[in-house]
Amino acid sequence: MKIEKIDHICFAVKDLEDLKRVYQEDFGLTPACEYVAESEKIKVARYYIGEVAVEFMESTAPDGEVAKFIDREGEGFFLISYKVDDLPKAMAELKEKNVKLIDDKPRELLGNRYAFVHHPINLHGVLTELLDGEFEMEDAR
């Protein structure tokens, strides 16, 4: 497995509109794109700081993973995502090492295949995602 870079870092927030307002007023930043991922029950504002994306996510449903996270942990750091050269190969390599994966097969969203590969309990509280592909902003809503 070759980890090429940090693709994005995600933060769970209760009020995405307020966060966007603060980022605009205080830092002069506007999202590079915004989208809703119904499959993940989230709406997202994505900012680029250099090559790394920072995503702020608000849950669209009380039973979504982001909502559950906020109920349990409060707002804050949610996950880190690493770009790999070949996601299925990386997942197979981790399975060979007896790493318990959250996902058995890749998920798909906005031109990417991705998988959650470590439960936060096994990685000192850090939810870890691997992905391949390129984020397709024209597909973002």
CATH number of the domain enclosing 35: 3.10.180.10
For 68-96, the pLDDT digits (tens) are: 999 999 999 999 999 999 999 999 999 99
In the chain, the number of structural domains is 1
Residue 73 CA: distances (Å) to CA of 8, 46, 67, 78: 20, 22, 10, 10
Q: Between β-strands 3-12 and 76-84, what pairing exists: parallel, antiparallel or unpaired? A: antiparallel
Domain range holding 11? 3-139
**In the predicted model, is pLDDT for residue 10 greater than 90?**
yes
Report the half-sphere exposure of 32 (CA within 13 A, side-chain side).
16
For 35-55, the pLDDT digits (tens) are: 999 989 999 999 999 999 999
